[in-house]
Structures are given as structure tokens and as C-alpha cells.
Structure 1
Amino acid sequence: MTSQDIEKRLLGLCQATDRYRLPDHRRTAETCLAEFGEIRDQARRLYRNITGSWPRHAGDGGAAPARRPKLPIPSAIHRDQERRRASAQRA
């Protein structure tokens, strides 16, 4: 991995942290946690590519981190989308 590759990946990671926002009326806590998890995964992968090993934590044994499954879309969003489609078809 060249220094330019490291620089590009670090810049991408910095930009992702700059875009990260806390929950509000438009963003759910689940969305924020998913974005935070992605930023964390990117940082851990960058660390591994630079040093050759995963970052160690107490009790983890140095094993590679497990991939976290994508969070499901809340059913309220599906109901809202269906309600909007139905009202658009009636209009």
C-alpha cells in the first residue's frame, strides 16, 4: 500500500466522519448507529492495512471483527411509503 493509497483512504474516512450527524427528526437512531458502525469498520480496515494486524481490544484475542448485518428498515417506514403510494394513485 503506497502513501498515496493511505492518504486517499484516510481522506475518505475523514469525509465520512464529517458527514456523520446525530439523530434528529429526519434521521433515526438506527441510521446513525449503522453509519457509525461503517466508519468504525473503515477505520479498523485502514489500521489493518497499515500495520498488518487488527486493532487489539481487551479480551478479543486479536481476531478479525465480525461483519455486522445491515439493520432492517423499520416497518413504520414501509407503512408510510405504502400510504404515500396509495394516496398518489387516488389523486
Structure 2
Amino acid sequence: MTSQDIEKRLLGLCQLADRYRQPGPRRTTETCMAEFGEIRDSARRLYRELTGSWPRHDGDGEAPPVRRPKLPIPSAMIRDQARRRANAQRA
């Protein structure tokens, strides 16, 4: 990995961190957790590529981190999709 590649990856990681915002009226907790997970995963992958090993935590083994599953779709979105389908079938 060249120094330019490292610079680009670090810049991208910094930009992700700069765009990160806390939950609020227009941002759900799920969205914030997903963005935080993306920042964390990107930082861990960069560390792995630079050092050749995954960063360790207290009590961790040498195993790489597992991929986190995608967050479930909130129930309000599922109800809305069902309502739209029902309205479309009635029409």
C-alpha cells in the first residue's frame, strides 16, 4: 500500500467521521448506529492492512471481527409498505 493510498483511505475515514451526527428529530438511532459501525469497520480494515493483524480488544482472540448483520427494517416502514400494497390492490 503506497502512502497515497493510505492518505486517501485516511481522508475518507476522516470525512465519514466529520459527517457523523447524533440522533435527533430527523435522524434515527438506527441510522446513527449504522454510520458509527461503518466508521468503526473502516478504521479496523485500515489498521489490518497497515499492520497485518486485526486490532485487539480485551479478551479477544486472534480471530477477525464478524461482519455485523444489517439493521432490521423498522416496523413503521413495514406497516407503510403493507398499507401501500393494500391500497394498490384495491385500486
Shorter chain as denominator, the TM-score bin is: 0.7 to 0.9
Question: SS of the residue aligned with 1:53?
Answer: coil
What code does the residue aligned with 1:59 have?
A: G
- Extract unaligned runs of 5+ from structure 2: none
Residue 33 of structure 1 aligns with which residue? 33
| 2:56 matches 1:67 | no
The CA deviation at 1:84 is 7.3
Which 10-residue stretch deviates more, 57-66 or 77-86? Answer: 77-86
Percent of matched pairs sharing the same residue: 78
- Extract unaligned runs of 5+ from structure 1: none
- State how far apart, in whole Å, the 1-side matches of 2:80 and 2:23 are: 19
How does the TM-score come out when normalised to structure 2?
0.85
> What RMSD over aligned residues (CA atoms) do the two structures have, in Å?
2.1
Q: Deviations over 1:33-90 (max 9, x none)?
A: 111011000000000001111001111112100000000110112334666785xxx9
Pairwise mapping of residues 73-88 of structure 1 onto structure 2 (< 5 A)? 73-80=73-80
